[in-house]
Structure 1
Amino acid sequence: MRAGKLQARIQIERLELLVNDNGTARQRWLPILTTRAEVKEASTDEFLLNQIVGDKNRAVFLIRWPVQTITTADRLTYAGRAWNIVGLQEIGRRRGLEIRCEAVG
């Protein structure tokens, strides 16, 4: 993974339950990791199989192997937009992580 390709700044967020002094609980997305990523376009095979030509609601982000554990329950924010994580795949032997996402809303 080349550092020059990691040009996008992303943030991984986790949904946490916060309780204030009065005992009122609310859920909130809290950042757990901010890092650089490479945004990849879907391959031709994916376009043909999923018929998503021109679809801006799916993206693949490549990052260096994170210290924090990331799951599909987390979400990713990029360029002011929230993305649900739908798949994770290790690149090499903990060299990097491929994060497949779908845009929220």
Structure 2
Amino acid sequence: MQSGKLTRVIAIQSATSTVDDYGSPVKAWANQGTYRAEVVERSTTEFMQTGGATDEAVIVFRIRFVSGVSNTNRVSFDGKTYQIKEVTELGRRKGLELRCAALAAQVYGEGA
């Protein structure tokens, strides 16, 4: 992995549970860490959901190896959040490839 290609900054977030003023549990997201990343691929795919066709923005990041990253985490990049769909280890703990997705309307605006 070439450090010169790691030109973007992402934050990996994990879900935490807090309690609101009424004693009810509330899901919140906390930064697990901030990492340099390479954007490998960006695309938009269309798939069918119950309510009809929906566009999904897919983005693939490469980062140096970090233990504990899974598809229960999410990535914050460029002010938008992406759910991690797949984590692939590169080499022998050299790096990770994170395949992430978000609804295209959330990424590109309502007109997407």
What TM bracket, shorter-length normalisation?
0.7 to 0.9
1:57 counterpart residue number: 57
Aligned runs of 1:7-22 on 2, under 5 Å?
7-19=7-19
Amino acid at match of 1:14: S
Q: Give the % identical residues.
A: 36
CA distance in 2, matches of 1:61, 1:41: 8
In 2, distance between residues paired with 1:18 and 1:30?
A: 11
- 1:102 aligned residue: 101
Quote the Cα distance in structure 2 between the aligned partners of 1:56 and 1:8. 21
CA-based RMSD: 2.4
Question: Residues 56 and 21 from structure 1, CA distance in 2 versus in 1: closer, same or farther, beyond 3 angstroms?
Answer: closer
**Counting strand residues as a fraction of each chain, which structure ranks higher?**
2
Q: Is the 2:65–2:93 contact (alpha carbons within 8 Å) kept by the matching residues of 1?
A: yes
Residue equivalent to 1:6: 6
Higher relative contact order (CA 8 A, sep 6+): 1
Contact 2:41 2:61 in 1 (8 A): no
Count of paired positions: 95
